[in-house]
Structure 1
Amino acid sequence: MAKFPQENPNPVLRVSQDGVVLFGNRASQKLLDHWTCSIGTPLPDIWREKVTERFRLGVAGEAMLECNGRIFLLQLVPIVENHYLNIYGRDITERRQAEQALAQAMQELQGHINNSPLAIVSFDPEYRITEWSAGAERMFGWRADEVLNKTITDLRWVHEEDAQHVASLSADMFAGRTSSNAHANRNYRKDGSVIECEWYNSALRDMHGKLISVLSQVLDVTERKRAEQHLEQSNQKLNEILASIQDDFYVLDHDWNFAYANRLFTSRVGKEPEDFIGHNIWKMFPKHRGTIVEENFRAAMEKREIRRFEARGKYTSAWYRLTVFPSAEGITVLGADITKRKLAEDALRKSKKQLQLLNETLEQKVQEKTAEVHQLASDLVRVVQRERHRLSHILHDDLQQRIYAIRIQLTFLHDELQRENEGARREVSDIEKQLAEALEVTRNLSIDLSPPILRDEGLSHAIKWLAARMGQRYGLPIELQADGVFALAEEELHVLLFNCVRGLLFNVVKHAHASRAVVALQWSDADLRIEVRDDGIGFPVDGPLQPVNRDMSEDNEVQSSSGLSAIRHQLRLFGGRMEIQAAPGAGTQIILIIPVTEGDQKNVATG
């Protein structure tokens, strides 16, 4: 029994060939309790079968037993010649748990490796591939069973142009000159396509420095390389675009530091773009604090709105038009030098002011000249009217009186001759008749030159008198349409309008072959409108200013044309105008428009 010390911390048992417990040390009691047996009693059936199996085979074997939360490794050693079997137990609970944890960790690690975008490849000291992850299968296209135990040279794997460089790096690592490296090269896939890869390699060596394996992690950077190329192209295009901008251009981050500034902008203060990057705008340009520049910059930054404004430089004498755009970085500023435009605007304002002064001067001179012309026209009308009145007075007070005296003398002579000479009496009667006709002509001429009604009545009364007189003399019915007296304070204008209406009515009588005529007076805003219309033969408005009259002589045509032109000219002298509406066979309508308000009327008693 000395071979089975009681102090052995591990369980030790001896059982007979038929499974009866012959001996057990103190450490084995936990096993016996688990099996519910003791010294001299048989083991449970399943364990007796294991004992029988060991005797049958004649070799030792192992079995696992879980007992009260512990795990034991039992070694069954048959001593065939003595017909018993020794059981040596060892508590392997901690080892077992460690193995399970390790297995779990390895399983998790393998899962991470398989799910990783990286390809995991390991090599032994002879360059043979010993590990080929699922990521490697996806990346390169070969299955693990197609590459394991093969070397790099057994596969068309490394691009020919990169093969020498890769071989040199590998040789350094396998020779122990480097323990790790990282490099980029091109690799072939199984289908022959080329991908860009980054390799991260590390060598594992034992305590004596002997190489155990090399582990490589491979990242496919093909898409990244393409993106980098596209980004580089985009950056190149962006730089070309930025370089082509002929205005100031810069970007400020949320801390008011320059993130970008083009050379055109920085050169204005004699600096380079790199002198601005990372520097605060308010520290570099403190004079802009509290100005329209800071106000608009902060509004764009804080309110995220586009701001446009103009400002004069604080560090230059130039004017700028600034547009501020909110951006992800902060704000982007585009500034255009508008100094030339501002100078041009200032010059334009000065020119406009000078022009305005010149216009005011010219307007004043025009007003003065207009007043002079108006005064001259009034004076002319007054002089003509005075001369008409003088002639009318001569005709009435002198010539008519002389004719009356001659007629009286002829009457006496007629009475004397009647008794003695009948022939002379008839001659005297003819002379009396001619004198009566001459007297009538002078009377009419006197009235025509200076109608007595012009001195006492308003314009409507004067035209009414004129219409009645012309109706009597020429047989033309003339209707007057006037709501009021239409008496004007300016006598010269009163006379002018009367003479214009009389001239137009004479044209109707002489040329229009009309059956009737109408004269209408009307106030219109600040104008007096006088309309003279007839139902005569009319004339083309776009032709010469003359009625269509087949019976008119050439002199009458000229007289009519010059009459209308004269009326138009006289009206213009008083600021008026004449409008003509006519057509062949459709009558004529002539409108006189003169600037005069009802407030310019004078009080005239109506009877």
Structure 2
Amino acid sequence: MENTPFGVLLWDANMKLIYCSKEAAAKFACTPDDLLYKPINLLQFVHEEDAPAVAALITEIASGRKNHNESLNRNLTKEGAVIYCQWYNSALRDDQGKVVNILSLFQDVTAQVDTQLALKKSQQRLSLAFNSAIDPMWLIRVEGPNAFRFETINHAFTKVTGWTPEQVEGQPIEKIMPESSHELVRRKYNEALTTGKIIDYVEEAQHPSGIKYGEIRVIPIRGESGEPMRILGIANDITEKVHLQKKLDAEHEIRSRQITSAAIKGQESERSKVSRELHDNVNQVLTTVKLYVELCIDQKIDADAILPKCAAYLDNTINEIRHLSKQLSAPSLGSMNFRETLTELIDSLRASTQIDVALEFTKLHFSEMEGELHLTIYRVAQEQITNIIKYAKADRVHISLKENSSLLYFTITDDGIGFDLSQKRQGIGITNMQSRVEILNGHFQIITSPGNGTRLEVEIPVIIEGDVCYAEQTVLNMPSA
């Protein structure tokens, strides 16, 4: 019995140890003489938590109720160290069937138990991390070509999709994922298995909780010792982000249509204005001149008196047409910069009205302005000056253009009669000004009230490169070189 790897103990009917192999004594860090023929205190060699169960097993064998039993319990060495032992106990009987001896074979399995406990703890930690993750996670067992089955899911998976573990675990993916996703999911899973790499993709899927959008990551896990391969799936739920983006896209589309509509209305308004001017002024004058010329030809009136009047009428008509042309044409950066165009606009206001106008340029770190930005400032100024002449009854107007912290500030302030912004319907002119500013990602505001004048404020993000000021939005939209 000394050649066996087991420790061997032989007890008499009174549970006194009458044989102890060297292997058995060594496992308890003592010699056989330390144990033989001496009273044994169970708590001396058995962990106190396991002692009641061990005592019951001893009684079971010693009483003859069982011939064999076995147990795994914690034992104590002579120094008090804890070891795990697997015990196999057998009753030895005489010819009358009476138990005369008990044979115990045991093996130190501490290393195996420690490994199992470490593995169990590791699995518990993994399970805790798996189920504590805020992102949905799932484990897929690979059962063959295009054969994938859910092995487990975490709590977040249930929370996001509405699927419970009872519904999902053990099911093939086709029973859980919508049919529209089958081909995509199989292709991505096979790509991960074939390449051994992490694969990312975006998926839209219908679940019990509704349509969900997810950024999916699948990680191949190679099996060991003949175990099948597995795939770990992780999803970042981007449903809210997708819905928000769709909402923003829809709002952008609506805004684009509004801007287009405003631009078309503005064009129609300008055409109507030109039509009225041509009909009411130019056409009437030309008709009068034509009538005078015909009368002169027929010698029905004094040509010397009438022809100078016709020339004067024609001069006025030429000036009227020139004025209409200037209103319709955009300023040319090739010939005039923003200072010149605004100054010319102010000069025309001073020449045609009694309004006191002040134009101020403050802290401008540039001398030229990019075309679209220049045109926006010019058109806003042109429209607001027209509004002031028509409606404001103002005595003084202050126009300011300044730049600070990558923002261009443009204001037009008058001391006129003002108006109730909540009561007055916003006309096409104001809509056009606002649309032009917002196209450049700017902010447009009118501040007014009855009797307190009107202040127009424009803020546009800008970028200054060299000596030229660009609208930031224009630079961002420029194609890459």
Relative to the length of structure 2, the TM-score reads 0.49
Higher helix share: 1
> Which fold has the larger relative contact order, with Cα–Cα distance below 8 Å and residues 6 or more apart in sequence?
2
Relative to the length of structure 1, the TM-score reads 0.40
Q: Is the radius of gyration larger for structure 1 or structure 2? A: 1
